Amino acid sequence: MQQTDVGFGATLTSEGCHFCLYGPDILTLAVVLFDKEGIATARHRLQRQENNHWTVFIPGIGENTGYAFWVTTATGPSAQWLLDPHAHRVQHHPARHSGPDRVAAPEWIAYTTYHDFDWQGCERPAIALEKMVLCEVHVKGYTRANPDLPAHLRGTYSGLCHPVTLAHFRQSGITSLQLMPIAAKADETHLAAKSLTNFWGYNPIAWSAPDERFASADPVRECKTMIRTLHAHGIEVILDVVYNHTAEEGNGGPVFHFKALDSQSYLKDEHGQFKNYTGCGNTPDLSHPPMLQAILQSLRSWVLNYQVDGFRFDLAATLGRNHDHFSSESAFFTAIRNDPVLSSVKLIAEPWDIGPDGYQCGAFPAGWHECNDQFRDHWRSFWLHDAPASAVAPHLLGSQAQFPAPNWPQKYSINYICYHDGFTLQDLVSFNDRHNHANGENNRDGHPDNRSNNQGTEGLAATAAIQKRREKQKRNLMTSLLFSLGIPHLLGADLHSHSQQGNNNAYCQDNDTSWVNWALSKEAHTFRSWLQSLIQLRQTVMPAIIAAMADKTSAPATIHWLTPAGTPMDDQSWTGRQPFSCLIQADDNHALFYLFNPDDHPVRFRLPSSMHNWTCLVDTAEQQLTVRNIQQSDCLVRPASMVILIPRP
């Protein structure tokens, strides 16, 4: 049970517990211990070291001992409670008991934690990048409404790894789950005033503590059990982590820890006001060594103690900031590259924030894959509006302006059509406008540029013809996603045709709006079966194509852009929303022929005369996938649909 590395926070050994905080702004610091009822039982003073570390070793302390810090600072109140920002387990406690000096007990209490766990010899799946199919889910939202799960497991870590859920993931061909934030969070003050909650969890209060709202008892053990079980079934776990801000908000916001401990923790302007490059009130300063150390310690904990396979970093441009400037050689990226633990896991960046120099798609270092919003926008515009072929052609081939093929596999585009923020796939083809009134912000929140198309009627209720058109556009968008070069990212809710009733920013909706609907309609069931089959089919074709194009030792792939007549595309062909085709010859054994028809009338495509035998893998005009051989020298592509062919030996 002994842990020998003493870092920030509470570190248990077989003899007791080390406590350590970095606090240059503190005058006095004590750790107060609590019993199971939340009543203070003892107080121990920490001593300031020359490096502004405050430390104490308390013998006899074991696991699950509650604690909080009682501090005085030069600038704050005479005394106040602080939560350990490095805690491995925290609980929210209503202030109902008395603490030291007869003051109200803390709102948040941390608990000492051992990380001993029987991993049963289970190793990380180590999915090859070209075989990854990412699926983004919310631990609670994905299973909360599944009637096939035991009621007490719905919405929990255990529910996400239940045999019923595992069977669904396996049948869907999902290789890697990207979990929306599972670190402990606090609700923003403006939500509390509206009796709403931060359902998504992008407001962290303790970076290293799994959220107790997803556990029936011990969140640490249940979270590890979930990851162990997913690994045993060949599924990776990628954590969506939020190190770009904390729950302390901005000027006048709550004080939980860093604000009182170290005034240099956050970026500030010349007047001492918090820089808000995140839209959440504050921005950590990762050029400040103690803050950088705190984040690296948290990341290592998730890898070493929970065996996670990688991270998706929310608003990751913030992590490379030196105030108004971004650098791919920042202290954070350098530290990750040089860390033997963190450099070995999968790293995904959301490559922007809202500050100056904030959009950095393609600018992250080698080893970092990046979410590609341009892929999303251009494919939506092509199928749902009037974008020309020139808008989507680069993204079919991996968005090489931002992610050049010579940099593969060290750096891929993370392709997506839908993410947790924005419309679900069903809403993308059912609503022209956002409908976010339930969020209490007069429908002003959420992104205004959705590039959606309701196909003629706003809302879910529609004629049979509109429903048919919507389903076909969903198939077009998913086929474009799964058969483009790069790493595909699916929104888990889209496997269920889940609708958020037009809400494109459901971050505060802990209800049926966000809880994925498992009671599928006939159309939703048909689409799920089709999408599951499409993913499985993708896995038989795309990994070899991507691997061949990433192979530095082989000849470069040949790409031919053709008109329906089979002639090379000229300048006129690239303008306007016209049918086109693309032949990718990755090597002697791997080729794909894409036929795109965005028009409202059928189009015949002449097939290359040099290759006479073709097999049709996908025809999005069909509700079911049926692989068939093409016998003639041309191929009919029906209105607003696409076809993918492979050469037949």
Q: Which residues are catalytic?
A: 314, 350
What SS3 class is residue 164?
A: helix
Helix axes 522-550, 464-482, angle to 10 degrees: 20
User: What's CA 526's distance to the chain center, in Å?
Assistant: 27
Of 83, 216, 75, 235, residue with least CA distance to 158: 216
What are φ and ψ of residue 162, in 5° steps? -65, 150
Q: Whole-angstrom distance between the N-terminal and C-terminal Cα of the chain? A: 60
- Residue pair 212/218 in contact by the 8 Å Cβ criterion: no
**Integer Cα distance of 471 and 448 in angstroms:** 24
How do strand 346-349 and strand 368-371 relate by DSSP bridges?
parallel
501: left (phi over 0), alpha (psi -120 to 50) or beta: left
Q: Are strands 236-241 and 204-210 parallel, antiparallel or unpaired?
A: unpaired
Q: Could you count the other beta carbons within 10 Å of the beta carbon of residue 193?
A: 10
Residue type for 149, please? L
Q: Residue 638 is encoded by which pair of tokens?
A: 């029906």
At 397, list the tokens. Answer: 């081939």
Three-class SS state of 540: helix
Two structure tokens written together for 576? 């306007």
Helices 464-482 and 373-384, interaxial angle, to 10°? 140
What are the helix and strand counts (H, E) for the chain?
13, 30
Both tokens of 558, joined, read 């040949």
Instruction: Provide the β-strand partners of residue 91.
Output: 109
Query: Burial letters for 452-481: b for 16+ Cβ neighbours within 10 Å, e otherwise?
Result: bbbbeeeebebeeebbebbbbbbbbbbbbb
Which residue's structure tokens are 């002449």? 606
Alpha helices for 490-610 (secondary structure H): 522-550
- DSSP string spanning 65-86? -EEEEEEEESSS-SSEEE--TT
Tokens of 319: 């992590």
141: burial class by Cβ within 10 Å (0-12, 13-18, 19+)?
buried
Residue 98: count other Cβ atoms within 10 Å of its Cβ.
12
Bridge pairing between strands 558-562 and 108-111: unpaired
**Given the DSSP bridges, would you call strands 368-371 and 413-416 parallel, antiparallel or unpaired?**
parallel
Q: What is the DSSP letter of 37?
A: T
Residue in the structure block whose two tokens are 């191929």: 635
- What per-residue string of b and e applies to 372-397 under the rule 16 or more CB within 10 Å gives b? bbbbbbbbbbbbbeebbbbbbbebbb
Tokens of 633: 């020298």
Contact 351, 370 (CB under 8 A): yes
- CA–centroid distance for 407 within its chain: 23
Bridge-based pairing of strands 590-597 and 580-587 is antiparallel
